[in-house]
């Protein structure tokens, strides 16, 4: 029996690298990983060539424009990667009968809810990044039926650029760090998301649609920073304080905790508490 083939785009980004790491535990699949140099998702011919040559059964789109504040000034670029490229990927996957797994964000919501967001809740992004990601979701839903959209939140890992790594670089610096408490969400270990994606594919349960996946619990960015330093016994080495006001160019959802029950019940995906998952990465 031939191995099913998974093609991952955006392979050199944070999530792409975590998927490469997780792949060793899902040996029933054949894998191809393409970074932006090998496949620029903003070039339709690059996507077409990759699908034509690799003939995947599944395509994981881990490519994204994620600079939330910069997106306010680079709207065209954000929509090019997060919406137009996604539309092209969806069209080509639909034509070639490839199952698409696409990553979206908690920022498709406005943050005005006070309990965890469900997949069925109304979307209403309040910044360009969120709007571009929602446009990508809508393109997939318009074009395809064989797709999974995973909305996730506050991704971090040992790879790429993220809040966790930024805080780690400050250990022992003695710096005065003011971290905001004005947003509530859930830090999500990108290694856990990578495992969840491959687990969903491996179950062979074709329950297509939108799913929320984040670690469980809730936190402010200050809570996240505190936990990072605490786990490293490094609280003495920085001057950590909280602020309820931290100006940013892009508005953020005040509350963006997501309910991940649907993916857990449908596919048996484990949802770890964010503090436990963070400790697992740092331990």
Residues marked active site are found at: 129
DSSP secondary structure of 177-228: EEEE-S-BB--EEHHHHHHHHHHHHHH-----EEEE---BS-B-HHHHHHHH
CA dist., res. 90 & res. 236, Å (int): 50
| Residues 6+ positions from 179 with CB-CB distance below 8 Å | 220, 221, 222, 224, 225, 226, 240, 241, 242, 243, 246
Q: Give Rg (Cα) of the chain.
A: 19
CA dist., res. 115 & res. 128, Å (int): 24
CA dist., res. 2 & res. 30, Å (int): 9
H/E segment holding residue 229: helix 221-231
Write 138-142 long-range contacts (CB < 8 A, 24+). 139/83, 139/86, 139/87, 139/90, 140/86, 140/87, 140/90, 140/100, 140/102
- Residue the block writes with tokens 């990072």: 228
- Residue the block writes with tokens 């789109």: 61
CA trace torsion 91, 94, 96, 97 (10° rounding):
160
Secondary structure tally for the chain: helices H, strands E: 10, 10
């Amino acid at each position: 029996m031939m191995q099913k083939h998974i093609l991952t785009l955006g392979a050199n980004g944070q999530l792409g690298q975590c998927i490469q790491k997780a792949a060793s535990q899902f040996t029933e699949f054949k894998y191809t990983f393409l970074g932006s140099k090998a496949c620029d998702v903003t070039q339709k011919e690059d996507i077409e060539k990759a699908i034509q040559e690799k003939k995947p059964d599944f395509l994981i789109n881990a490519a994204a424009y994620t600079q939330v504040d910069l997106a306010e000034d680079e709207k065209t670029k954000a929509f090019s990667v997060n919406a137009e490229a996604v539309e092209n990927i969806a069209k080509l996957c639909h034509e070639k009968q490839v199952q698409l797994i696409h990553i979206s964000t908690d920022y498709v919501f406005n943050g005005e809810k006070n309990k965890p967001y469900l997949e069925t809740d109304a979307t209403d992004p309040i910044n360009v990044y969120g709007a571009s990601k929602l446009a990508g979701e809508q393109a997939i839903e318009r074009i395809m039926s064989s797709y999974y959209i995973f909305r996730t939140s506050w991704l971090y890992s040992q790879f790429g650029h993220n809040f966790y790594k930024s805080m780690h670089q400050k250990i022992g610096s003695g710096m005065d760090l003011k971290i905001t408490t004005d947003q509530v969400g859930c830090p999500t270990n990108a290694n856990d998301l990578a495992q969840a994606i491959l687990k969903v594919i491996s179950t062979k349960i074709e329950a297509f649609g939108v799913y929320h996946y984040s670690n469980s619990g809730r936190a402010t960015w200050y809570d996240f920073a505190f936990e990072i330093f605490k786990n490293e016994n490094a609280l003495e080495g920085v001057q950590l304080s909280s602020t309820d006001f931290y100006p940013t160019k892009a508005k953020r959802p005040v509350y963006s905790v997501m309910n991940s029950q649907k993916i857990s019940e449908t596919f048996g995906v484990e949802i770890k508490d964010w503090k436990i998952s963070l400790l697992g990465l740092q331990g």
